[in-house]
Amino acid sequence: MLKMQYGHFDDLHREYVITNPQTPFPWINYLGNEDFFGLISNTAGGYDFYKDAKFRRITRYRYNSVPMDNGGRYFYIKDGDVVWNPGWKPCKTQLDSYECRHGLNYTRITGEKDGVRTSVLHFVPLGVKAEIQRLTITNLSSKVKNLKLFSYTEWCLWNAATDGENFQRNLSTGEVEIEQHADFTALYHKTEYKERRDHYAYYAVNCPVQGYDTDRESFIGLYNDFSEPQAVLDGAPRNSLAHGWSPIASHYLEMTLQAGETRELIFVLGYEENAQEDKFAPFNGEITSLGERDHHIINKARAHEVIRRFATVEAVDSAFAELSALWDELLSKYQVQSADERLNRMVNIWNQYQCMVTFCMSRSASFFESGIGRGMGFRDSNQDLVGFVHQIPSRARQRIIDIASTQFPDGGCYHQYQPLTKRGNNDIGGGFNDDPMWLIFGATAYVRETGDFSILDEMVPWDNEPGSDVTLMEHLRISFDHVINNVGPHGLPLIGRADWNDCLNLNCFSMDPNESFQTTGNRTEGSKAESLMIAGLFVYCGRQYVELCRTKGMAQEAERATAHINAMCQAVEKHGWDGEWYLRAYDFDGNKIGSKDNEEGKIFIESQGWCAMARIGEAEQMPEKALDSAVNWLDSEHGMVLNYPAYTTYHLEMGEQSTYPAGYKENGGIFCHNNPWVIIAQTIAGRGNQAWDLYRKIAPAWIDDQDLHKVEPYVYCQMVAGKEAAKPGEGKNSWLTGTAAWNWLAITQHILGIRPTYEGLLIDPCIPADLTEYTVIRKWRDAQYVITIKNPNGKQRAEQPTMVPYSAGKHEITITL
Ligand code: BGC
Ligand code: NOJ
């Protein structure tokens, strides 16, 4: 079969290069890695927001639109009668050439038509609350070109949720300002600024313009769409001033380009906040107001500063160089050199990049997450930070404190908090009994990476209640105890609303289609529903807690915890083993889930991964048997499915899991997030070949059929359709998934085997026999380790791991397996 190709990796520039704009789905990238963010597709679709995709949405985007991916930051070029966009959309005029380069927090889109080339570089400078668009337009022809350029972006009325529903108010509230200086032109969005908002947005260009528009209907025309704005077709802006309806920002520039001439323009799309007391500015005489009404309400000093700071290409280029230097630095913390370029590409660039993005976004904003549904997940963020902590440990530290501050005094958790307020909320449910253990997972990973034990002494409140603070270490203890305080009839952890598998809702019993399984009633009273996934998690992360206690000299606490862990292991061996694999759960009435006795859902991946990682039942070879069963039953060409066979009917006692059609999502989909649990367990069992085989099946660098895979070929997706699905191998829910962090752990710490511990770096590779040599350069704390692994005899693992005690400075180590 001929595989359509839409692009390729450019490792030297750390970019993915898209050469055909008609990708099987919009292939997106993320701008910004601090507070100001943008999502940008390969045709310049997407939107910007500040900190919180729900409460501070800056530009408007319509999800699930027709056609797909409508709205973004568009440039229209009118050359005679032809109108085109450098990113092909929205006009879709056939281009002579097109290229989109998605790099690390930047995207460069270049289009060429009839001898004119336009290239736009989008990025967010470090420490700046704005997206810069550096536009370069060149006349490649031998004739003079008279061109008309229109920029376009549509404002969102801040709260993205109400923006999409409260039209009776929204269509009357919109307000803008227009400002022309000798050196720049800025269009401001100030809806609700005169009342409770202290923030505004602006879209500026570093020169005077020949016109503008701020009202969508005037610019586009009521019966037109983005592909044919009437103002552009007419080559004449309307100079409109928005009063309510839908405010936009569009600059109009006329330019004459001689043969070979290039013009550079800098657009700044920014956001600023003012203190209450100096929100407003009087008219200072300097402003040439182009509108008719009161145009000098916002105190614009901060916007002016940013616009003027980025007025020259030199300033923009130097900010871009800073971003690139930051990525040099971040990526340099872990680099592998091997003969396998796909492995290098995953480890050295894309997996690390995705870890940054998931750390920043949690599950809030992607082309599958609307930005209004979910903020920062308790469990999700703890996992994300483990993939990110080596990059910027101080930010991981803050994240741990923020997350722990939302916890309840009994160790239970809100399932999410909003990044803007940092307060927990129940919007996406609560009572997931795995949640507390993830805090131990995140916090111990942080301390192993940094050696910073002081975080454990930080005073952290319960549920953000001032005065309720206890140490973080105490939060960890209570997290551990939350599991032992909530065990069921078999001594196994009660599941609560669900565990890692949000859809294993064993206590919901929902018959009302208007209810969400995630938030509806949770009948835990009298429930016998127990989770083997939490059991494995508890043993694995519980041992991390024990190790931490020992390192801190808390021998008694370590012993107490060990006794509980041992009891849990026994409970699993006794009540959680099904003969060939670990059970998945017991339901409300105490019936088995994930057993050979079940007709559907005989075996689940989560308990195999976790209990095998925790080596429960080692003496009986339970881990090895469970791994073999997992591979036999769950594996497929595209990775391992979550459960098999998938459910084909709705099970009231199981909830959302059984609602998905067979082969999708939590019902038999390939959840890329839990494949690495099995991969890691394989390495712990010493099976390098098997681990590698499973790793390669889901790692994006090995995906060759881009049409089938559909979503971005440079990042992991949450789910790939499983073997029972209509289209096995089709990817969905790309970008925001714990898959990034877990595969990072799997490949760097367990396969390549360089693992930070409290006292040193543990070198414990478990690799495919045919990997003959590789070198890892690992910057760790104040040291740099250059570790070469030689494997001349085709082994999968060394007899013994090597512990290299921590000491500052540069170290070179060679190990022959
Ligand atoms: C999805 C899960 C997700 C949950 C979040 C469910 O519909 O299937 O993957 O974790 O929603 O609330
Ligand atoms: C996605 C959620 O973000 C994550 O928390 C959950 O564990 C998985 N889905 C599995 O349900």
Rounded distance from Cα 533 to ligand 1 centre (Å):
17
Catalytically annotated residue among 48, 502, 587, 764: 502
In the predicted model, what is the mean pLDDT of the chain?
Answer: 96
Taking CA atoms only, the protein residue closest to ligand 2 atom 10 is 501
Ligand with an atom nearest the CA of residue 741: 2
- Could you give the 3-state DSSP secondary structure of residue 737? coil
Rounded distance from Cα 443 to ligand 2 centre (Å):
20
Taking CA atoms only, the protein residue closest to ligand 1 atom 5 is 502
Of the residues 518, 533, 658, 660, which should be mutated to test ligand 1's pocket, given the most ligand atoms within 8 Å of the CB? 518
**Ligand 2 atom closest to the CA of 501, numbered from 1:** 11
pLDDT at 297: 86
The yes-or-no verdict on residue 55 having pLDDT over 50 is yes
Rounded distance from Cα 666 to ligand 1 centre (Å):
8
For ligand 1, is residue 499 a contact (CB within 6 Å)? no
pLDDT at 291: 46
For ligand 1, is residue 719 a contact (CB within 6 Å)? no
Residue-wise pLDDT for 705-753, tens only, equals: 999 999 999 999 999 999 999 999 999 999 999 999 999 999 999 999 9
Whether the CB-CB separation of 471 and 456 falls below 8 Å is answered with yes
Q: Which amino acid is at 559?
A: E
Rounded distance from Cα 607 to ligand 2 centre (Å):
15
Residue-wise pLDDT for 23-35, tens only, equals: 999 999 999 999 9
Of the residues 434, 505, 666, 671, which should be mutated to test ligand 1's pocket, given the most ligand atoms within 8 Å of the CB? 666
Residue 282: pLDDT band (50, 70, 90) is confident
**Ligand 1 atom closest to the CA of 660, numbered from 1:** 8
For ligand 1, is residue 642 a contact (CB within 6 Å)? no
pLDDT at 429: 86
For ligand 1, is residue 736 a contact (CB within 6 Å)? no
Of the residues 363, 502, 717, which should be mutated to test ligand 1's pocket, given the most ligand atoms within 8 Å of the CB? 502
Lowest mean pLDDT segment, chosen from 244-258, 293-307, 395-409, 771-785: 293-307
The yes-or-no verdict on residue 4 having pLDDT over 70 is no
Q: How far apart are CA 550 and CA 627, in angstroms?
A: 31
Residue 288: pLDDT band (50, 70, 90) is very low
Taking CA atoms only, the protein residue closest to ligand 1 atom 4 is 502
Count CB-CB contacts under 10 A for residue 168: 7
Rounded distance from Cα 680 to ligand 2 centre (Å):
19
φ/ψ region of 309 (left if φ > 0, alpha if ψ in -120 to 50, else beta) reads alpha
Rounded distance from Cα 162 to ligand 1 centre (Å):
22
Query: What does the block give as tokens for 263?
Result: 């013009």
- In Å, how far are 92, 379, 448, 543, 565 from 540, measured between CA atoms? 53, 16, 16, 5, 9
Residue-wise pLDDT for 657-686, tens only, equals: 999 999 999 999 999 999 999 999 999 999
pLDDT at 290: 46
Of the residues 428, 501, 503, which should be mutated to test ligand 1's pocket, given the most ligand atoms within 8 Å of the CB? 503
Ligand with an atom nearest the CA of residue 362: 2
Rounded distance from Cα 500 to ligand 2 centre (Å):
6
For ligand 1, is residue 665 a contact (CB within 6 Å)? yes
Ligand with an atom nearest the CA of residue 533: 2
Using a 6 Å CB cutoff, which residues line ligand 2? 363, 377, 379-380, 500-503, 666
Whether the CB-CB separation of 381 and 449 falls below 8 Å is answered with no
Percent of the chain predicted with pLDDT > 90: 95
**Ligand 1 atom closest to the CA of 373, numbered from 1:** 12
Of the residues 361, 364, 374, 380, which should be mutated to test ligand 2's pocket, given the most ligand atoms within 8 Å of the CB? 380
Whether the CB-CB separation of 698 and 672 falls below 8 Å is answered with yes
Q: How far apart are CA 773 and CA 136, in angstroms?
A: 45
402 is catalytic: no
Q: How far apart are CA 93 and CA 85, in angstroms?
A: 7
> pTM for this structure?
0.97
**Ligand 2 atom closest to the CA of 379, numbered from 1:** 5
Task: Name the one residue in this structure whose structure tokens are 């990997």.
Answer: 771
**Ligand 1 atom closest to the CA of 518, numbered from 1:** 12
Rounded distance from Cα 660 to ligand 2 centre (Å):
14
**Ligand 2 atom closest to the CA of 380, numbered from 1:** 5
Ligand with an atom nearest the CA of residue 671: 2
Rounded distance from Cα 377 to ligand 2 centre (Å):
9
Q: For residue 625, give the H/E element and its range.
A: helix 622-634
The yes-or-no verdict on residue 1 having pLDDT over 80 is no
- Could you give the 3-state DSSP secondary structure of residue 555? helix
pLDDT at 2: 45
Rounded distance from Cα 378 to ligand 1 centre (Å):
14
**Ligand 1 atom closest to the CA of 733, numbered from 1:** 9
Rounded distance from Cα 324 to ligand 1 centre (Å):
35
Task: Give the number of C-alpha atoms closer than 13 A to the C-alpha of residue 172, restricted to the C-beta side.
Answer: 3
pLDDT at 3: 53
How much is the average pLDDT of 146-156? 98
**Ligand 1 atom closest to the CA of 415, numbered from 1:** 12
CB-based contacts of 529, cutoff 8 Å, min separation 6: 488, 494, 495, 506, 507, 585, 586, 587, 588
pLDDT at 295: 52
**Ligand 2 atom closest to the CA of 374, numbered from 1:** 3
For ligand 1, is residue 505 a contact (CB within 6 Å)? no
Q: How many helices (H) and strands (E) does the chain have?
A: 20, 39
pLDDT at 72: 97
For ligand 1, is residue 434 a contact (CB within 6 Å)? no
Q: How far apart are CA 392 and CA 330, in angstroms?
A: 8
Secondary structure of 386-443 as H, E, C letters: HHHCCCCHHHHHHHHHHHHCCCCCCCCCEEEECCCCCCEEEEEEECECCHHHHHHHHH
φ/ψ region of 449 (left if φ > 0, alpha if ψ in -120 to 50, else beta) reads alpha
pLDDT at 289: 45
pLDDT at 284: 56
CB-based contacts of 748, cutoff 8 Å, min separation 6: 334, 336, 347, 754, 776
- Could you give the 3-state DSSP secondary structure of residue 745? helix
Query: What does the block give as tokens for 462?
Result: 């319960």
Picking from 255, 235, 545, the residue whose alpha carbon sits closest to that of residue 411 is 545
pLDDT at 719: 98
Whether the CB-CB separation of 178 and 188 falls below 8 Å is answered with yes
Ligand with an atom nearest the CA of residue 738: 2
Ligand with an atom nearest the CA of residue 379: 2
How much is the average pLDDT of 84-102? 98
Rounded distance from Cα 804 to ligand 1 centre (Å):
41
Whether the CB-CB separation of 692 and 675 falls below 8 Å is answered with no
Rounded distance from Cα 724 to ligand 1 centre (Å):
20
Of the residues 361, 500, 657, 672, which should be mutated to test ligand 2's pocket, given the most ligand atoms within 8 Å of the CB? 500
> Burial level of 215, CB count in 10 A (0-12/13-18/19+)?
buried
For ligand 1, is residue 369 a contact (CB within 6 Å)? no
The radius of gyration of the chain from alpha carbons, rounded to an integer in Å, stands at 28
**Ligand 1 atom closest to the CA of 429, numbered from 1:** 12
pLDDT at 281: 86
The yes-or-no verdict on residue 292 having pLDDT over 50 is no
Q: How far apart are CA 554 and CA 392, in angstroms?
A: 29
Ligand with an atom nearest the CA of residue 674: 2
Task: Name the one residue in this structure whose structure tokens are 């191998």.
Answer: 729
